[in-house]
Amino acid sequence: MNYREVNEHMHDEYQTAEDTGLFNMILFNYDAWLNGEKLRMTDQTDISNPVLYRGWMLKPEEYKKLYGDLAHRGIHLLTNPEAYANMHLFPNVYPVIKEDTAEMMCFPDGKVDVEMVKQHFDRFMIKDSVKSTKGTEFPAFFNQSVTQEEFDEKMNIFYKYRGDLLTGSICVKEYLNLKRYDGKTNEFRVFYANGQIISVSRNSHQPGDTSELPLKLAEKYGNMKSPYYTIDYAELEDGSWKIIEAGDGGVSGLSSGQDAVAYYKSLYHALAGGVNI
Domains and CATH numbers, the chain: 1-97+177-277 (3.30.470), 103-174 (3.30.1490)
Instruction: Note the pLDDT of residue 228.
Output: 97
Sign of CA dihedral 49, 52, 55, 57: positive
Burial of residue 229, with CB atoms counted within 10 A of its CB: 0-12 exposed, 13-18 middle, 19 or more buried: buried
How do residues 152-211 score in pLDDT, each as one tens digit?
999 999 999 999 999 999 999 999 999 999 999 999 999 999 999 999 999 999 999 999
pLDDT tens per residue, range 22-31: 999 999 999 9
Confidence of residue 212 (pLDDT cuts 50, 70, 90): very high
- As a whole number, mean pLDDT of residues 55-83 equals 96
For residue 7, name the pLDDT band (cuts at 50, 70, 90): confident
275 pLDDT higher than 80: no
Please tell me the predicted confidence (pLDDT) of residue 2. 74
Mean pLDDT over 120-136 rounds to: 96
| Res 273 pLDDT > 80 | no
User: Is the separation of the CB atoms in 114 and 170 below 8 Å?
Assistant: no
CB 78 within 8 A of CB 227: yes
**Average pLDDT score, the chain:** 94
Its pTM surpasses 0.85: yes
Residue 58: HSE in the Cβ half-sphere, 13 Å Cα cutoff? 21
Q: Say what the pLDDT of residue 44 is.
A: 85
Burial (Cβ within 10 Å: 0-12, 13-18, ≥19) of residue 236: middle
Helix (H) or strand (E) holding 188: strand 187-193
Position 83 confidence tier, pLDDT thresholds 50, 70, 90: very high
* Mean pLDDT, residues 56-67 taken together: 97
Q: With cut-offs at 50, 70 and 90, classify the pLDDT of residue 97.
A: very high
Q: How does residue 277 score in pLDDT terms, banded at 50, 70 and 90?
A: low
| Alpha helices per DSSP H over the chain | 11-19, 30-34, 60-72, 81-88, 90-97, 114-120, 148-162, 215-220, 260-270
pLDDT band per the 50, 70, 90 thresholds, residue 80? very high
